[in-house]
Chain A
C-alpha cells in the first residue's frame, strides 16, 4: 500500500486561538521547606491533592531494591494517631478515592475529594509524613502482598519479565537498571529497619511537593497547608549521588527464553533527557522524533510496518523526556504472522536510517504538532493528570514551569533538528536489543474439582 501524504491542508494551525484560558498556578513554600503548587480548575466541585516525595527506585542501592515501593505500601499501615487501615477508611467515609504510586524518580500519594474535604486529606498526609509507625506484624503481611504483586505484574507476564532483564542489560551502573518493585531476593529480605531508615532519610517536608488542582482558592489552600503541614520539622537531606551511566562501547543484545506464545522485540537507545541535557532543544527534538515514528495511526511505524510492509502485528516507540537521569528511547513490537523478530529488527533499523538520511516531511511534523496542541486541551479535562504533570516535573528537578513551556518548545522543533538527534543518538553504540524467545507452554489439563469445594470447611 503506497503511503499517501497529501492531507496537509487539514492540519491544525499551531497558533490557533484555543479559547481555553491558560491554567492559573500559584506557588509558595512553607518555612519548613514544603513546596506547594495550586492550580485552579472550577469546572466541578472537586479537588485532587498529591504529595510527591523526591525518592524512588533510582535512589536505592544494591541489596535493598524495592524499598521505596515497600515503604509506599506501609504508609497505609498506621501512625501513632491512626491505626492500620484507618487512613483508607477515613478517606472512604469522606467520599474520596485514594491511591499511591512509586516510580524510578518519585513516590507519590493522592486523594480526590469533594473540595470542602481537602482538610481531611491534609491532616492525614501531614500525619504520615513524620509519624509513621512501622509495625512488624503489618510489615510481614504486607511483604507477602508485595511479593504477590510482583508475581502478578512480572513473574507471570512475559513482556514485563523481558523488560526487567533488558533494563538490567542496557544500563551498566545507572540505577534505572533495577526494577521499581525490586529484585525478588531483595524484596523478600527487606526488614522493618531498612524501611525505617529509608523513611527517616527521605520523608520530610523539605523533600516533598504538595500539589492541589481543582475547585479551590489558593489563599485558602495556603492557610490549610500552613495549619497542617506547617508544624512539621524539616530534615537534613543527603544529596543524591550522581551515579552517571558509563559510556556504552558497542551494541548489546539479550535473549530471554520464557513460556509464551509469541516472540517480542524491544530496542532502546541511550538518549539525554531535559534534566541535564547539554543542548536544551535536543530532548524536544527526540520527542518529535517519537511522534514521527509513533504519533498515531498515520505515523511511520503503524503506517509502514503494520499496514504497508506488514512486518509488525503491533509496534510502538517511547521516550520520556521528564526522567531525572538519562534514559532510553525505545521501540518495541510483535512481529506479524510469518515474520521473525530479526525481520522486524531490520525493518525498524531501516526506518531509523531514513530518519538519519533525510529530514522528516513538513506535514509529518505538522501532524505531530497538531496532536500535541490538541492533547494540551484534552489533558485539561482531567484534574488528576494536570496535577501529575506539575508534581512530576517539580520532583525530578525541572520545575513545574516546564509544563507550560512544552507546546512552544515542540512547535519550534525543525525537521533538521529531528534529523540531527537521529544521527547523534540513534546509533549502534547506544543501542540495546532484547528478543523474547517463546518456549512452549505445556498443554493445560482442565479437570472438574474432585473434592467437595462448597461445604464451607477450612483447608489448612
Chain B
C-alpha cells in the first residue's frame, strides 16, 4: 500500500508515440493461410512469450448498441467449446498462463502471456484458440456479465472524473462512433441480447479482420505454428468499412455539470490527430514541451509548480484510426476551478502563438532521444509497440526512423502544426464538480 505521488499520467497514454529504441528490432511479418497478418519479433533471455490477437472490433463498431463490443469481449473467456468458465480458468491458471480480453474505441484484443515450455504453451494455446473460435455465449454467462456491466456503469456515476470524460467525448464527437463511452450506457446495455453479441462476434471476429503479434523466446517455426493454431478455426470474413471522418466543432463550448465532489475535474480539447498523420512528429514533440512530459512540462510548471493549483495537469494527443482527441486536463479545489482553467488555456494560447523556445525544444529532444532505450526494455513493452505498429498499419521501419524524425522537428514546424490543428476558439471544455462546495 503506497501513495505513488509525483507523475501519474505518464503511463496512462497510448504509448505508440512515445516508445521506440535506437534501432528498432526487426519485425517479421507474414499472412496466415486464412488471411490474418502476423507480426513477430524473437527475444532472448526469458522463457516466455507474449501473444496478442487484435481485431478492428472496438466500441466504434457498436452502431447504436453502445456497449456491444465491450460485452462481447467480456463473454469470450466465460465459455468456449466444451469448457465453461471454471474449466477455462483452471486450464490457463494450471499452467501459469495469463489471458485477458479487452476493447478500446478502435480495437478489441485477446492477450496471452505464457511460458514457452512445450506442454505449458500447448495447453495455453489450445485454450486461447477455443476462446477465439468457439465462444458459447451461454444464457447464464450472458445474464450475469450483463448485470455486472450494468452495475459498473452505475458506479461510473459516482466519479466526477469519469463523468467529465464521458461528457468530453460527447462534446468532441457529436454523432460520430467515437462519441459514446466504450462501455456503453445503462439504457443501451440493458437492451442487448445474446443474439446481438453472437452477430457482432460473427461479423468482426474473423481472420481477415485479425492481426497477430508474437514477441518472445520462440523461433520462427514456432511463431508460425502459434499463429496458425490460434486462428485457423476462424472464418475468413470481411474487413469492416472505414470509420467516418470527424468534423471540427464550429465554435467553442463550455459545459458545467454540478457534482457534490471537493474537486472540479476539467477537460478541454478538440478532435485532432490520426495515426500516421503527416504532422505527427511536430505535434508529438511540441506537446511533450507543452504538457506531455510530466513535471517539467509548461502546463505542469504553470499550474502545479508555480501556483500549487493541481496535483496533475497535462495535455496529450491520442492518435486514433480517425481524428483522435487533443486533450488538456486537471483537477482542482472547486473554488479555484475558474482560475486553474484560465491558467491552462492561457498556457495553451501562449504556446500556439509563440511556439517553444530553442532551449525547451532541445531539452525535449534530449529526453525523447536519450530515453529511447527505456521504451523497449521489456518483452511486454516491445509487444505493445509492435501491436501498435500492426494495428495502425505503420511502416515496419517505424522504430528505426523515429529518432531521425524527432531530431528533424524545428520550433517553426511545431508552431505551424499547432496553429493549423488547434484552434483555441473552438475548444470544447467540460467542468464537473463545483456543485456543493464543501470548502471553507
Please choose the segment from A84-92, A197-205, A235-243, A281-289 that sits at the chain B interface, where 4 or more of its residues have CB less than 8 A away: A84-92
Closest residue of chain B to A8 (Cβ to Cβ) is B94
Q: Does B339 contact A (CB under 8 A)?
A: yes
* Chain A min CB distance to B220 (Å): 19
Whether the pair B167, A381 counts as a contact (CB closer than 8 A) is no
Tell me, in angstroms, the Cα distance from A383 to B371 when the chains sit together.
Answer: 15
Q: Which of B44, B123, B158, B296 meets A10, CB within 8 Å?
A: B123
CA distance A146 to B6 in the complex (A): 10
* A118 touches B (CB below 8 Å): no
- Determine whether B327 belongs to the interface, using a CB cutoff of 8 Å to chain A: no
A441 CA / B259 CA spacing, docked (Å): 8
B173 to chain A, nearest CB (A): 17
Contact of B117 among A16, A88, A102, A181 (CB under 8 A): A16
Cα distance A106–B147 in the bound complex, in angstroms: 41
The answer to whether A43 and B115 have CB atoms under 8 Å apart is: no
Of all chain B residues, which has the CB nearest A42?
A: B45
Minimum C-beta distance from A401 to chain B (A): 22
Would you call B342 and A97 a contact (CB within 8 A)?
no
Residues of A within 8 A of B7 (CB): 99
Whether A298 contacts B86 by the Cβ 8 Å rule is yes
Report whether B167 and A377 are in contact in the complex, using a CB–CB cutoff of 8 Å: no
Question: Given known contacts A92-B363, A102-B5, A143-B308, is B46 in contact with A46 (CB within 8 Å)?
Answer: no
B371 near A449 with CB under 8 A, answer no
Q: Does B376 contact A (CB under 8 A)?
A: yes
Residue of A44, A140, A146, A445 near B373 (CB, 8 A) is A44
Cross-chain contact A95 with B47 (CB below 8 angstroms)? no
A90-114 interface bits toward B, Cβ cutoff 8 Å, 1 = contact, 0 = none:
0011111111111110100000111
CB distance from A228 to the nearest CB of B (A): 20
In the complex, whether A448 has a CB less than 8 A from a CB of chain B is: yes
Does B379 reach chain A (CB closer than 8 Å)?
yes
A-side contacts of B93, CB under 8 Å: 295-299, 367, 370-371
Contact with B along A151-169 (1 / 0, CB 8 A): 1110111100000000000
The contact of A337 among B151, B263, B332, by CB within 8 Å, is B151
Q: How large is the interface on B (under 10, 10 to 19, 20 to 34, 35 or more residues)?
A: 35 or more
Chain A 31-47 near chain B by CB (<8 Å), digits 1 or 0: 00000000000111110
Q: Tell me if B259 and A88 are in contact (CB < 8 A).
A: no
Inter-chain CA distance A158–B260, complex, in Å, is: 12
- Stretch of A271-279, A306-314, A416-424, A427-435 with 4 or more beta carbons under 8 angstroms from chain B: A306-314
- Specify which chain B residues have a CB less than 8 angstroms from the CB of A261 in the assembled complex: 154-155, 157-158
Does A262 touch B at the CB level, under 8 Å? yes
CB of A314 to closest CB in B, whole Å: 7
Which residues in window 301-345 of A have CB below 8 A to B?
302-303, 306-307, 310, 313-314, 320, 334, 336-337
A69 CB-CB contact with B under 8 Å: yes
- B6 x A449 contact (CB < 8 A): no
Closest to A385 in B: B378
Task: Say how far B85's CB is from chain A's closest CB, in angstroms.
Answer: 6
Task: Say which residue of A85, A97, A313 sits within 8 Å of B148 (CB atoms).
Answer: A313
Closest to B48 in A: A377
Residues of B within 8 A of A217 (CB): none
Instruction: Given A259-B158, A445-B257, answer yes or no on A337-B150 (Cβ-Cβ < 8 Å).
Output: yes
Whether A4 pairs with B86 at a CB distance below 8 angstroms is: yes
Contact flag A95-B374 (CB < 8 Å), given A377-B46, A378-B48: yes
Residues of chain A from 64 to 97 with CB closer than 8 A to chain B in the complex: 69, 72-73, 76, 84-85, 88-89, 92-97
Write the chain B residue with the least CB distance to A86. Answer: B296
| In the complex, chain A residues whose CB is within 8 Å of the CB of B120 | 12
A184 to chain B, nearest CB (A): 10
Q: Nearest chain B CB to A296's CB is how many angstroms away?
A: 4
Q: Which residues of A contact B424 (CB under 8 A)?
A: 454
Residues of B within 8 A of A73 (CB): 5-6
Bound form: Cα–Cα A114–B375 in Å: 10
- Whether B236 is near chain A, meaning CB under 8 Å from some CB there, is no
Name the interface size band of chain A. Answer: 35 or more
Among B5, B167, B293, B331, the most chain A Cβ lie within 10 Å of the Cβ of B5
Set A11, A18, A102: member contacting B3, Cβ < 8 A: A102
Residues of the A chain whose Cβ atoms lie less than 8 Å from the Cβ of B167? 446
> B46: which A residues are within 8 A, CB to CB?
20, 43, 377, 380-381
Interface residue? B219 (CB, 8 A): no
Closest to B330 in A: A148
Chain A residues closer than 8 Å to B341, beta-carbon distance: 453
| A7 engages B256 (CB within 8 Å) | no
A224 to chain B, nearest CB (A): 19
Per the bound structure, the CA–CA distance linking A417 and B150 in Å amounts to 40
A79→B312 CA distance, assembly (Å): 24
Cβ of B91 < 8 Å from any Cβ of A?
A: yes
- Within B4-18, which residues are at the interface with A (CB < 8 Å)? 4-7, 10
Tell me if A370 and B96 are in contact (CB < 8 A).
Answer: yes
Q: Tell whether, in the assembled complex, residue A101 and residue B333 are in contact, meaning their CB atoms are under 8 Å apart.
A: no
Binds A, one of B247-255, B317-325, B384-392: B247-255
> Which of B44, B45, B424 has the most chain A CB atoms inside 10 A of its CB?
B45
Docked-complex contact A145 and B304, CB < 8 angstroms: yes
Whether A441 and B367, one on each chain, are in contact in the complex, defined by CB atoms closer than 8 angstroms, is no
- Tell me whether A180 and B3 are in contact in the complex, defined as CB-CB below 8 angstroms, given that A20-B47, A89-B296 are known contacts: yes
Instruction: Enumerate chain B residues within 8 angstroms of A378, measured Cβ to Cβ.
Output: 48, 98, 113
- Which of B5, B95, B148, B305 sits near A149, CB closer than 8 Å? B5
Which residues on A sit within 8 Å (CB–CB) of B148?
Answer: 306, 313-314, 336-337
CA distance A284 to B345 in the complex (A): 53
Q: Are A69 and B3 in contact (CB under 8 A)?
A: yes
Q: Are B370's CB and A94's CB within 8 A?
A: yes
Residues of A within 8 A of B45 (CB): 20, 42-43
- Name the one of B254, B301, B311 contacting A448, with C-beta atoms under 8 angstroms: B254
Let me know if A89 and B377 touch, CB within 8 A: no
Residues of B within 8 A of A18 (CB): 47, 115, 117
B228 on the interface (CB 8 Å rule)? no
| Cβ–Cβ < 8 Å partners of A76 in chain B | 6, 295
Does A24 touch B at the CB level, under 8 Å? no
Indicate with 1 or 0, residue by residue over A364-384, a CB within 8 angstroms of chain B CB atoms.
001100110111011011110
Q: With the chains together, A262 CA to B92 CA distance in Å?
A: 32
Is B291 part of the binding interface, using a Cβ–Cβ cutoff of 8 Å? Answer: no
A374 contact set on B, CB distance < 8 A:
95-98, 114-115
Additional A-B contacts beyond A12-B94, A145-B304, A456-B345 (13; CB < 8 A)? A1-B86, A44-B377, A145-B310, A145-B311, A149-B311, A152-B311, A156-B263, A296-B89, A336-B148, A447-B257, A449-B256, A453-B341, A456-B349
A-B contact pairs, 6 of them (CB 8 A): A148-B332, A151-B331, A156-B261, A306-B148, A336-B147, A454-B427
Chain B residues within 8 Å of A, Cβ to Cβ:
1-7, 10, 43-48, 77-78, 84-98, 113-115, 117, 120, 123, 140, 144, 147-148, 150-152, 154-155, 157-160, 163, 167, 252-263, 293-296, 301, 304-312, 331-333, 338-339, 341-342, 345-346, 349, 363, 366-374, 376-380, 424-425, 427, 429, 432, 435-436
User: Which residues in A have some Cβ–Cβ distance to B below 8 Å?
Assistant: 1, 3-5, 7-8, 10-12, 16, 18-20, 42-46, 69, 72-73, 76, 84-85, 88-89, 92-104, 106, 112-114, 117, 140-149, 151-153, 155-158, 180-181, 259-262, 295-299, 302-303, 306-307, 310, 313-314, 320, 334, 336-337, 363, 366-367, 370-371, 373-375, 377-378, 380-383, 438, 441-442, 444-449, 453-454, 456-460
What 6 pairs across the A-B complex have the smallest Cβ distances?
A: A95-B370, A374-B96, A449-B254, A95-B371, A144-B308, A298-B89
